[in-house]
């Protein structure tokens, strides 16, 4: 008899890929369920990872939440924006449907949930200051940049909420007027 043992190939571990999968699963769970309801076990299951890896890579639920918040903001994008075309581009995007960019819609829902929870609102405030308002302020530059950054952020957040509630693209004359007025409000902050 020929005794041949079959050995399963050893699966190579990829810590960076596992960490990224956990972070994406966390953003999705926190967006759907909120901080209080989401569990580390569900996040690990969605990521295809062991719950112990969450503790190893992130330290716990609050630290994972904080990292997920930070990952939801892309401050480096601000340096790529064209000051002459941004107002019209963002206004056109806001006139579209909420689910034309599922990834951004999910990220915004995650941030909305964080803002409405007494446990996570302080964490969100820190992330917003560091990774959202700070980069906007730097991009805007000039006089009253801090106040203009807050006004611009308020315009963007208001439009995001309106788009989420509306859930469908604007059409016809309403779309044209919406784009023109939002673009003017945004440009007023950029060109001030």
Q: What is the pLDDT of residue 171?
A: 97
Instruction: Name the pTM for this structure.
Output: 0.75
Write out pLDDT tens, residues 168-180: 999 999 999 999 9
User: Which whole-number Å values give the CA distances from 186 to 53, 73, 78, 80, 82, in the listed order?
Assistant: 43, 19, 14, 17, 13
Residue 170 carries which DSSP code?
Answer: -
Torsion angle, CA of 115/119/124/129, rounded to 10 degrees?
A: 120
d(CA 172, CA 111): 31
- In the chain, DSSP assigns E strands to none
Write out pLDDT tens, residues 119-153: 888 988 888 888 889 999 999 999 999 999 999 99
Q: What is the pLDDT of residue 177?
A: 98
Write out pLDDT tens, residues 8-50: 343 456 888 999 999 999 988 988 888 899 999 999 999 999 9
Q: Could you tell me the pLDDT band of residue 54, with boundaries at 50, 70 and 90?
A: very high
d(CA 41, CA 52): 9
CB 66 within 8 A of CB 123: yes
Q: b/e string for 161-189 if b means 16 or more Cβ within 10 A?
A: eebeeeeeebeeeeeeebbeebbebbbeb
Nearest Cα neighbor of 27 from 16, 43, 14 is 43
User: Which whole-number Å values give the CA distances from 92 to 8, 10, 97, 119, in the listed order?
Assistant: 53, 50, 10, 35
Write out pLDDT tens, residues 145-163: 999 999 999 999 999 889 9
């Amino acid at each position: 008899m020929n005794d041949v043992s079959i050995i399963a190939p050893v699966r190579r571990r990829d810590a960076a890929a596992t960490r990224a999968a956990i972070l994406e699963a966390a953003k999705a769970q926190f967006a759907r369920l909120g901080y209080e309801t989401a569990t580390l076990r569900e996040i690990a299951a969605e990521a295809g990872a062991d719950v112990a890896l969450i503790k190893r890579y992130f330290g716990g639920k609050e630290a994972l939440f904080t990292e997920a918040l930070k990952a939801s903001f892309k401050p480096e994008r601000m340096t790529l924006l064209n000051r002459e075309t941004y107002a019209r581009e963002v206004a056109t995007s806001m006139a579209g449907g909420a689910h034309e960019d599922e990834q951004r819609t999910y990220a915004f829902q995650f941030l909305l949930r964080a803002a409405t929870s007494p446990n996570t609102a302080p964490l969100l405030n820190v992330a917003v200051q560091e990774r959202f308002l700070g980069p906007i302020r730097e991009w805007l530059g000039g006089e009253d940049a801090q106040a203009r950054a807050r006004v611009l952020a308020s315009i963007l957040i208001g439009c995001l909420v309106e788009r989420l509630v509306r859930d469908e693209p604007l059409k016809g004359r309403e779309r044209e007027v919406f784009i023109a007025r939002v673009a003017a409000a945004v440009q007023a902050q950029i060109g001030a």
